[in-house]
Amino acid sequence: MKNIVVKFKDLIVSWGTSLFAAISLTLFIFGAIFFSIFSITLASIFEAKTRVSAFIWKIKGHGLSGREVYR
């Protein structure tokens, strides 16, 4: 009887460890995907803002092309 309890306990521990590892890995993967999408979106927003600023700079007649201001 004691042997069965020990085996059952080992089974629960191994399942718990596997479940914890699976959940951790899943959260890590989703976090990496979310961070990638978030950083790409943020970079696109800042790039668009810079291009608009360069365009406004050119409209105001500063004599520089948008590409020179963009750098």
Torsion, Cα of 17, 23, 24, 28 (10° steps): 160
CB of 40 within 8 A of CB of 28? Answer: no
CA distance 11 to 14: 5
Angstrom CA distances, 41 to 3, 45, 67, stand at: 57, 6, 22
Question: What confidence tier does 62 reach under pLDDT thresholds 50, 70, 90?
Answer: low
Quote the tokens at residue 32. 């990496």
CB of 51 within 8 A of CB of 66? Answer: yes
Q: What is the pLDDT of residues 6-52, one digit of tens each?
A: 777 777 778 888 888 899 999 999 999 999 999 999 888 888 888 77
